[in-house]
Structure 1
Amino acid sequence: MKIFRIILIIVLIGLHYRLWFGDNAYSEHLAMTQKVAELKKANEALKLRNKIMMADIKDLKSGLDAIEEKARNELGMIKQDEVFYRIVPNYKKATNN
């Protein structure tokens, strides 16, 4: 009976060693769990970006309003006989008195 207890204790120690320090140990499991959570968060951000892009594509295919808006904002285009005014804010420099 004494030998049986010693063998059980040795087996228990061996299993605990593998759990905490062996391949695929608990610390690696925690690191992988954290990495999976980060990747899921990144995937959600990419899904949102893809949704926005698909909405832009749909708008561009459906009408001229989106095309005109893109041309005005990104290319600086204006219509014929249209006057473009750019208002530049006047920033006052702070003086140390």
Structure 2
Amino acid sequence: MRLIILCLAALVLLIQFPLWLGKGGWLRVWDLDQQVIAAQKKNDELRARNAKLNSEVQDLKEGTGAVEERARYELGMIKENEIFVQVLDPNKKSSFVSIPPPKIEPKEKR
């Protein structure tokens, strides 16, 4: 009787081995689930990034506000008749050389 119980226990263990550690076992399924969750998270982040870029492209195509903003911040451009004011941190040493503004000569009256 004891031999039969040991044989049955061994058979149960042999049957359980592929279930837990085999090619399609529970551990493999759990690992694949974790990979799917990570891929879905990355896809969500990329979808949000794509939506942001798409809205920026639409704004650049349709409006002048985004073009003006980029020209101001990236190229340092200002509009005509605007005064550019730059506030510097007194504790930070500046590597820029200050250039005085051009002198505007008044037009002669006729």
Q: Could you tell me how far 1:17 is from its partner in structure 2?
A: 0.7
CA distance in 2, matches of 1:36, 1:89: 49
Partner of 2:75: 75
Residues 53-92 of structure 1: per-residue CA shift (max 9 Å, x gap): 111111111121111011111221112332211112445x
Q: Which structure 2 segments of 5+ residues have no match?
A: 92-110
Q: Could you tell me how far 1:28 is from its partner in structure 2?
A: 1.6
Q: Could you tell me how far 1:10 is from its partner in structure 2?
A: 5.7
One-letter code of the match for 1:38? A
CA distance in 2, matches of 1:57, 1:20: 50
CA distance in 2, matches of 1:82, 1:73: 15
Query: Is the aligned partner of 1:57 residue 2:57?
Result: yes
Q: Is the 8 A contact 2:21 2:28 kept in 1?
A: no
Residues 35-60 of structure 1: per-residue CA shift (max 9 Å, x gap): 11111111111111111111111111
CA distance in 1, matches of 2:75, 2:14: 69
The aligned length equals 88
Q: Which structure 1 segments of 5+ residues have no match?
A: 92-97
TM-score of the superposition, structure 1-length normalised? 0.73
Partner of 1:94: none
Query: Is the aligned partner of 1:35 residue 2:45?
Result: no
Partner of 1:95: none
